[in-house]
C-alpha cells in the first residue's frame, strides 16, 4: 500500500478510509491499559491509541521508544481530544528502527540544543522553519526567472575583498592566502556583459567577531546584478523579491507559520510599494525619537530596530554617506557626500535584510578608495577590465536569506534560520 503524508489525512473526507503512514514516534504515553503514541512525519502529527484487545500491536507499542521509526496501516477517525483533531486506529504496526533513549527530553538549554543540533532538527519548530526555508528558496528562483534573470555562479575562493578586508575568512590555497567569498558581486559585474541579467543563491562568509542575534559566519545570500539598470530599477527588483517571498510563504506555509506562532495575514500584507527615505531623513527621524546618532555613522542594530518600529512594511533607506560605503558605490550626482546605494530594513525585528547599489564606472575613484583601505590593487586588475571594454551603467543587491527567514518566522536568533549554524565559537556539529 502507498504511504500517505499525515497532513493529507487530517481531513474529514478521509474518515474511515484505510491508509498507511510512516514516521517517527514523537510522544509516548503509557497508561498501562492504554498506550498513546503521537507519530510525526515531515508534514504533521497523528495520535494512535493501542489497547490490549489487539495483543500483538499492544506488545509492539510497549516496546517502541520515542524517536523510533515506524510504519502503520489503519483508519482515521475524528477525535476532538487528539492533537490535530483526528486519531488513527491501527491495524498493523511495524518498528523500522528502534531508537536508543533520545537525549533531548527536559534539558532544552540553548547550548545543549546546539550540541545536539543533528537531533534537534527533528523538532516541530525546526521542521517548520526548514519547510519555510525551502519555500523561500523556491520563491526566489521563481521570481528571478519570471523577471528574466539567469542563474549564474561565481567562485567561493577568491583573492579579493568585495566588502571590506576586515571580516574575511582566510584559507590556505596551496601556500597562498585566499578568502572565502563575502559576495559574488565583483564576478557578477563581469558576467553582465555576457548575459545582462543574472542572479545567484550562494553561501557567503564573514568572519564576524561580534556575537549578535543577526550575524552568521556562513550564511546564504540571493544576489542580483543587471546591466542597464539604475538604482531605482534595482530597488524595485529587491522589493519585488521580498514581496514574492512573503506572498508565497504566507499562502503556502500557513501550517508551518502556525507552529511558529506567526500570523500569515501579517506576512501577506508585505506588498509593494514599500516606504522609502534617505539616510539623512532616517537620521532626522531617529533623532526625533531620542536616538543618539551622528550623521556619517552607519546604522547599527539599535538604530535599525528603532526604524523598524515606525513601519509595517520593509523600509528602503537610500543615499548612505559615501565615506562609509564599499569602494564600488558611486557618489550621487547632486551630493558627493552620499552614495547611489540602498539598504532594506525589515519591520518588527528591524534589521538590514538587503544591501545594494549602482556600481561606480570611475576607475580612478575606485582605485583611490581601495588604496585607502589598504588593498593590494594587483588582485583587482581583472575587475577594472569590466570598465575598460564597453562599460554600461549597472547595479545589483544582496539579500540575506537567513535574516529574511528570521524575520518571517519571528525567530529571536538567526542561528535558528539555518540547520547547522556557523557562529563565532561554533562549527560543530
Ligand atoms: O550589505 P552586504 O554586505 O552587501 C554585499 O555583500 C553586496 N556585495 C551585495 C551586492 O550588492 N551584490 O550584504 C548583503 C546582505 C545584507 O543586507 C544582510 O542581509 C546579509 O547579506 N548579511 C548577513 N547575513 C547574516 N550574517 C552575516 N554576517 C551577514 N552579513 C551580511
Ligand atoms: Mg550592508
What is the end-to-end Cα distance of the chain in Å, rounded? 37
Q: How far apart are CA 306 and CA 316, in angstroms?
A: 14
Instruction: Tell me which of 32-36, 160-164, 233-237 is least confident.
Output: 160-164
Mutate to test the pocket of ligand 1, among 185, 355, 366 (most ligand atoms within 8 A of CB): 355
- State the distance from the centre of ligand 2 to the C-alpha of 147, rounded, in angstroms: 24
Mean pLDDT of the chain: 95
Q: If pLDDT is split at 50, 70 and 90, which confidence band does 371 have?
A: very high
Specify the pLDDT at position 387. 96
- The pLDDT tens digits of the residues spanning 111-147 come to 999 999 999 999 999 999 999 999 999 999 999 999 9
- The pLDDT tens digits of the residues spanning 178-226 come to 999 999 999 999 999 999 999 999 999 999 887 899 999 999 999 999 9
Is pLDDT of 174 > 80? yes
- Going by alpha carbons, the residue nearest to atom 7 of ligand 1 is 398
CB atoms within 10 A of CB 117: 17
Which whole number is the average pLDDT over 40-59?
Answer: 96
Sheet containing strand 197-205, edge to edge, reads 150-151, 197-205, 218-227, 394-400, 352-358, 341-345, 315-318, 276-278
- State the distance from the centre of ligand 2 to the C-alpha of 229, rounded, in angstroms: 20
Is pLDDT of 161 > 80? no
Is pLDDT of 165 > 70? no
Q: Which residues of 18-31 are buried (b: 16+ CB within 10 A; e: fewer)?
A: ebebbbbbbebeee
Which whole number is the average pLDDT over 305-312?
Answer: 93
Specify the pLDDT at position 211. 84
Phi, psi for 320 (deg, rounded to 5): -75, 160
Is pLDDT of 106 > 90? no
Closest atom of ligand 1 relative to the 167 alpha carbon: 28
Is pLDDT of 415 > 90? yes
User: What DSSP string describes 135-155?
Assistant: HHHHHHHHHHHHTTPEE----
SS (H, E, C) 227-275: ECCCHHHHHHHHHHHHHHHHHHHHHHCHHHHHHCCCCHHHHHCCCCCCC
Is pLDDT of 315 > 90? yes
Amino acid at each position: 500500500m502507498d504511504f500517505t503524508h499525515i497532513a493529507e489525512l487530517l481531513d474529514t473526507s478521509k474518515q474511515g478510509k484505510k491508509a498507511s503512514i510512516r514516521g517517527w514516534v514523537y510522544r509516548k504515553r503509557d497508561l498501562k491499559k492504554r498506550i498513546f503514541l503521537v507519530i510525526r512525519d515531515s508534514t504533521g502529527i497523528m495520535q494512535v491509541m493501542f489497547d490490549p484487545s489487539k495483543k500483538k500491536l499492544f506488545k509492539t507499542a510497549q516496546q517502541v521508544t520515542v524517536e523510533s521509526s515506524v510504519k502503520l496501516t489503519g483508519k482515521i477517525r475524528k477525535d476532538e481530544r487528539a492533537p490535530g483533531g483526528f486519531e488513527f486506529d491501527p491495524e498493523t504496526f511495524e518498528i523500522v528502527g528502534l531508537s536508543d533513549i533520545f537525549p533531548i527530553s527536559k534539558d532544552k538549554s540553548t547550548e545543549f540544543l546546539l550540541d545536539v543540533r543533528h537531533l534537534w532538527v527533528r523538532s516541530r519548530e525546526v521542521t517548520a522553519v526548514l519547510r519555510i526555508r525551502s519555500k523561500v528558496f523556491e520563491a526566489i528562483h521563481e521570481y528571478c526567472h519570471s523577471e528574466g534573470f539567469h542563474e549564474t555562479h561565481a567562485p567561493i575562493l577568491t583573492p579579493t575583498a568585495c566588502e571590506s578586508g576586515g571580516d574575511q575568512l582566510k584559507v590556505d590555497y596551496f601556500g597562498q592566502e585566499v578568502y572565502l567569498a563575502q559576495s559574488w558581486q565583483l564576478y557578477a559585474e563581469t558576467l553582465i556583459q555576457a548575459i545582462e541579467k543574472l542572479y545567484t543563491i550562494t553561501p557567503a562568509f564573514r568572519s564576524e567577531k561580534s556575537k549578535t542575534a543577526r550575524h552568521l559566519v556562513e550564511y546564504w545570500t540571493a544576489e542580483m546584478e543587471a546591466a542597464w539598470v539604475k538604482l531605482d530599477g534595482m530597488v524595485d527588483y529587491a522589493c519585488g523579491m521580498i514581496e514574492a517571498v512573503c506572498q508565497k510563504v504566507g499562502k503556502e506555509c500557513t501550517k508551518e507559520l502556525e507552529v511558529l506562532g506567526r500570523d500569515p495575514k501579517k506576512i501577506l500584507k508585505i506588498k509593494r510599494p514599500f516606504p522609502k527615505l534617505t539616510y539623512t531623513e532616517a537620521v532626522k527621524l531617529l533623532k526625533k525619537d531620542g536616538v543618539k546618532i551622528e550623521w556619517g555613522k552607519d546604522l547599527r542594530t539599535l538604530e535599525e530596530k528603532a526604524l523598524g518600529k515606525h513601519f509595517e512594511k520593509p523600509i528602503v533607506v537610500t543615499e548612505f554617506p559615501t565615506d562609509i560605503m564599499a569602494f564600488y558605490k558611486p557618489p550621487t550626482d547632486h551630493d558627493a557626500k552620499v552614495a547611489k546605494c540602498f539598504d532594506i530594513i525589515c519591520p518588527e525585528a528591524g534589521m538590514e535584510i538587503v544591501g545594494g547599489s549602482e556600481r561606480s564606472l570611475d576607475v580612478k575613484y575606485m582605485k583611490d578608495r581601495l588604496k585607502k583601505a589598504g588593498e593590494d590593487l594587483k588582485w583587482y586588475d581583472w575587475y577594472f577590465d569590466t570598465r575598460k571594454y564597453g562599460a554600461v551603467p549597472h547595479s545589483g543587491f544582496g539579500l540575506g536569506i537567513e535574516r529574511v527567514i528570521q524575520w518571517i518566522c519571528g525567530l529571536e536568533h538567526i542561528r535558528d534560520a539555518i540547520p547547522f549554524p556557523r557562529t563565532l565559537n561554533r562549527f560543530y556539529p
